[in-house]
Structure 1
Amino acid sequence: MATINKTRSVRTHEGAKARAFTPEQALKRALMNCMLWEDQFYEDGVAIGERIGALVPKVAPETVAAMAIEAREDMKLRHAPLLIVREMARHETHRGFVADTLERVIQRPDELTEFLAIYWADALGPMQQRKKAAVSAQAKKGLARAFAKFDAYQLAKYDRDGAVRLRDVLFITHAKPKDEAQEKVWKQLVDGALSPPDTWEVALSGGADKKAAFERLIADKKLGALALLRNLRNMQLAGVPKQTIGKALDEMRTDRVLPYRFIAAAQHAPDLEPELEHAMFRSIEGHAKLKGKTRLLVDVSGSMDSMISARSTMRRLDAACGLAVLAREIGEDVEVFTFSNHVKKVPSRRGFALRDAIVQSQPHMGTELGKAIREVDQKGVRLIVFTDEQSHDRVDAPKGVGYMVNVASYQHGVGEGDWRRVDGFSEKILDWIIASESA
């Protein structure tokens, strides 16, 4: 008779022995890098979304709520936290946390409508029919509280055509305005009478001369840092003088912009690399220092070349390069290595030169992570690995302090022993390492 009482062996997508995670750990892995319903290199977005839904009721409700808030506020994810709240609303054990969590994770008016679209996403029939489906009392309460956070400018900016409109949210939630001024704004919203906001999207879509529109927006400081970075190529095509763009980059606020944003921008405006690099270094000024000796292992395997989002041209490798640039600048003693089929030490460079050295260090093929860790001397150093964890080979325990920074949402990860695991990528990763070691 065959034996069925066996422990099921789990493997990465590349075949290495993987480690089992608790439901809480598995939910965090799936969530913190999740661009909702978008495919990744090894797994499709629907499967990742379904896994999140299945894990929510297995994790304590207060933990799920905190995780959704962390995903929105620290990891800057917009849609995946809304899916988390939808799943919370479906389970009696979690419903009591829905209103507070939803109010917290909704930070833009369009997230009100996105939540309802996600809430009704798996209902049958056309959207007009789905709108008749009941919305839970806790969800209505959270939406109503969130709606009251936004002023006329914000509501006008995000009052867009779509299957679900902002006025639909008002009708469904029966939100109460806090005063007469807000009541007037909401009536204008319902009547379609809000004044168009002076944004770059409106300025450029209204038929105005693009060169003149960009120059006015720059002069009036109406372009935020991310909008400026995303529009560099459009400005060049419109004929905005390079010195005007350079001055805008020199004057932009950089305190909330991570290096990988500058790396992504340079792909579209390579002739502005000197100005972008200068702004990138300004964004790092005053950052807390990573003390002691650090070795970085950056995954340059083929799967790291996949895009973070279907609407983005930024690869997971670009994000890893951005973290490496940051670590190089704030670290007292940092050495950088890459791994794919081999391990390569990267020259001691800074900024975009470090990015180039990482990307060009070797062919982007397999994921021999275990081999890389065994070959890099770990004596007396802090080892930080930036990877999607889909290794071919066994990954041993770190010999010293080891951090496994996972930059994908895949179900299974690697690493025997006491790896300190970090899921997601943001400016908070190195902050967290510095804070945890100084505690």
Structure 2
Amino acid sequence: MARKLTPQALMSAMTLTHEGAAAYDLRADQPLLHLCFTFGSALFTDGYYTREAAQVRAFAEALGRAHAVDARFPWQYAAWMRDPVRGKGNRIQGSLAPALLDGLLRETPFTEDYVATCLGHRPDDVAAFVLHLQQLRLGRPTAAARRGMARALAGFDAYQLLKYARPKDDVRLCDAIAMVRPELEALGEAGALALRVGRYLHAPTRERSALAESVPLLAARRQLFTAPTTFAAEAAFVDTVRAARVTWEQVLGRYGVSLKGKDGAALAKARKRNAAVWKALLVDEALLPDMALLRNLRNLHDAGVSRGGLIARVSRRRFDGVWPHQVFAGAKAVPPLRTVFEAAFRRTVDRLPPGRHLGLADASGSMAVRVGGPMSSMTSMDVALCLTALMSETSGLGASFSDDQFKAWTGGDYLRIAQRSTGEGPLAFAQNPALRTGMGGTQVHGAVLELVRWLTTHRSVKPPECLWFFSDMQFHPAKGSRSLPRWVADAGLERYCDPTRPPLEQALQVYRAVVGPVDVVLWNLAAYGQAPVPLSTPGVLMVSGFDANTLSTVGRWRAGATASTAPLAANQAHVLDTVRSF
């Protein structure tokens, strides 16, 4: 008996997802779009289908293809990825992309300026840049890159240089400073502080006292750290902490008291001491930045700050550069303070475009990949559900999709729809069990057909103006005409159920034919390289990443007069123009 192969259209210029569905390959014809859509979410950890080394190689190739079309664009992309306020705040790409470009292209007219820009956010980015060059055997930084490194280092103050000077790193900050000593000297007074800090960090302990005199901040820190621990109760403590500009880890390590195992008077005394420490840190936001504040909400509450006080504090912050799922992670870790994290979450995502939105989170097995590495507690699925919960702020609804081969079509288990309860916040809704059930693969075609059926049978529910798909885009093929729902055949829509065609492309055609016009956002949460719809598809925007600024990009697109009618190729100008603004 002949073996029956999986149906596919070999005569069409298609690629395949890792699950065998037809998709579009943007690498040759649209290298700029391919770079932004495929790698905007890349964190270069082992994925479900690929490993870190393969991702880095594919990223290098994508940068090269983009450079061949527009020599400046990959540098702009690197700056966009790194910028925590206007861009995506992706630290690994912010140092890796310039390292790859410098190592593979060598000298370019853009190297110095963009290396300075990409590495000018945190001093340890400079050390990471050098480490990437070493690990990938790309050689020493070029002369232009060294000048850029020096300019980045010259832009930091003593607090920043000392904060990120980790003595056990593979490439220490003092090593990076030593590498560009001539370039720092050429900058004159602008580079003098970095050189002084570099000499201090590189010196043995016995020689540091003399060198500390050249860095005034070190004298203030010596005063703080040589005082007795009872100093925390004195009035001068707050001003001394501010003058020393220490990190919260440093001051807690010296003056904080663990509450573990204490009760009664000992517990009250420890809390009083810790309250004094936190009071000193809260005086100046620079001592407890946004991310540090989120990480220490439980400690602040234990020290006596009320929930109302915490909500008031987070409501005054902008949380620029904080990814929405990082707030979600905090809420999962500290459930009693969820209302505080809800307030912070709403600050990070206040860029949500107007309109009625419905998020569809990919809940398939490939989305269980951890975001940020093996020690992270967050997965791509958590990110998808977090963003889906955000969309529920406008519609009260959220949905997830995967593939339950035992109940699909009859049980409606390709798609799960949940409605927010009265008083339920978005972070609580993101943990709704109804959205987290499912198994198998990513049957997006069946899920959208079930969504169409659900909307047509729930007439009291107003259809969304915009559908958001949060996924790694590794869809399974459509099931074909076999066992289709009766209503699909009755509506004459079998032609949109071809297993050899891209499943989401066909599903959107069914949705628009039955429900009506809808804008669609395809938000890629992985780096696998295929586009699920053709560039001719109207009313679609493809984005990627973990940042809240992407919401602003979508908002600008939807505010345009032709958002719903222009083809995808034209809509992507909103993303490419954002990159080119860097």
TM-score w.r.t. length of structure 2: 0.65
Q: 1:64 aligns with which of 74, 91, 94?
A: 74
C-alpha distance 17-427 of structure 1, shift in aligned 2 (>3 A):
same
What corresponds to 1:191 in structure 2?
Answer: 200
What corresponds to 1:344 in structure 2?
Answer: 416
C-alpha distance 359-51 of structure 1, shift in aligned 2 (>3 A):
farther
Q: For residue 118 of structure 1, report the CA deviation from its aligned partner.
A: 0.5
Q: 1:273 aligns with which of 323, 327, 338?
A: 338
What corresponds to 1:53 in structure 2?
Answer: 60
1:31 aligns with 2:39: yes
- Segment of structure 1 superposing worse, 403-412 or 180-189: 180-189
Per-residue CA deviation, residues 28-74 of structure 1 (Å, 9 max, x unaligned), is 244311223x1122211111001111222211221111111111122
1:157 aligns with 2:229: no
C-alpha distance 283-81 of structure 1, shift in aligned 2 (>3 A):
closer
Q: Partners of 2:97 and 2:193 in 1: how far apart?
A: 33
C-alpha distance 189-242 of structure 1, shift in aligned 2 (>3 A):
same
8 Å CA contact retained: 2:102, 2:141: no
1:363 aligns with 2:363: no
Q: Partners of 1:241 and 1:168 in 2: how far apart?
A: 39
8 Å CA contact retained: 1:61, 1:93: no
Map 1:20-419 to 2 at 5 A.
Answer: 20-22=25-27, 23-36=31-44, 38-59=45-66, 60-73=70-83, 74-92=87-105, 95-106=108-119, 107-123=121-137, 134-161=140-167, 162-173=169-180, 174-176=182-184, 180=189, 183-184=192-193, 186-192=195-201, 193=212, 195=218, 197-206=245-254, 208-210=256-258, 212=273, 216-221=277-282, 222-232=287-297, 235=299, 240-241=302-303, 243-244=305-306, 247-252=309-314, 253-256=316-319, 257-281=322-346, 283=348, 287=351, 289-291=353-355, 293-310=356-373, 311-329=375-393, 331=394, 333=395, 335-341=397-403, 342-349=414-421, 350-357=425-432, 360-377=435-452, 381-393=465-477, 394-397=503-506, 398=508, 399=512, 400=517, 401-416=519-534, 418=537, 419=540
Q: Which amino acid aligns with 2:475?
A: S
Q: Which amino acid aligns with 1:404?
A: L
Q: For residue 308 of structure 1, report the CA deviation from its aligned partner.
A: 0.7
Q: For residue 155 of structure 1, report the CA deviation from its aligned partner.
A: 0.5
Q: Partners of 1:93 and 1:166 in 2: how far apart?
A: 23
- Segment of structure 1 superposing worse, 54-63 or 255-264: 255-264
Q: Partners of 1:282 and 1:20 in 2: how far apart?
A: 37
Q: Partners of 2:130 and 2:158 in 1: how far apart?
A: 21
1:424 aligns with 2:545: yes
C-alpha distance 100-402 of structure 1, shift in aligned 2 (>3 A):
same
Q: Which runs of 5+ in 1 are unaligned?
A: 124-129
C-alpha distance 363-246 of structure 1, shift in aligned 2 (>3 A):
farther
Question: What is the total number of aligned residue pairs between the two structures?
Answer: 419
Give the share of equivalent positions with the same residue, in percent: 24
Q: Partners of 1:282 and 1:112 in 2: how far apart?
A: 30
Per-residue CA deviation, residues 109-135 of structure 1 (Å, 9 max, x unaligned), is 011111001111133xxxxxx9xx542
Per-residue CA deviation, residues 344-401 of structure 1 (Å, 9 max, x unaligned), is 2211344233212366452243211122223333978322111111111222253342
Per-residue CA deviation, residues 280-332 of structure 1 (Å, 9 max, x unaligned), is 345556x46422x4332221112223211114222222222332233333x3x
C-alpha distance 324-6 of structure 1, shift in aligned 2 (>3 A):
closer
Q: For residue 269 of structure 1, report the CA deviation from its aligned partner.
A: 0.8
Q: Which runs of 5+ in 2 are unaligned?
A: 1-9, 202-211, 222-244, 259-270, 404-413, 456-462, 478-502, 561-582
Q: 2:16 aligns with which of 11, 22, 26?
A: 11
Per-residue CA deviation, residues 260-286 of structure 1 (Å, 9 max, x unaligned), is 23211012111211332244345556x
Q: Partners of 2:443 and 2:352 in 1: how far apart?
A: 32
User: Which SS does the other structure have where 2:420 is aligned?
Assistant: coil
What corresponds to 2:557 in structure 1?
Answer: 436
C-alpha distance 45-348 of structure 1, shift in aligned 2 (>3 A):
same
8 Å CA contact retained: 2:471, 2:525: yes
Q: For residue 81 of structure 1, report the CA deviation from its aligned partner.
A: 2.7
Structure 1 residue runs of 4 or more that deviate by more than 6 Å after TM superposition:
5-8
Q: Partners of 1:214 and 1:423 in 2: how far apart?
A: 41
TM-score w.r.t. length of structure 1: 0.85
- Segment of structure 1 superposing worse, 114-123 or 204-213: 204-213
Q: Partners of 1:354 and 1:408 in 2: how far apart?
A: 23
Q: For residue 218 of structure 1, report the CA deviation from its aligned partner.
A: 4.7
Q: Partners of 2:155 and 2:367 in 1: how far apart?
A: 39
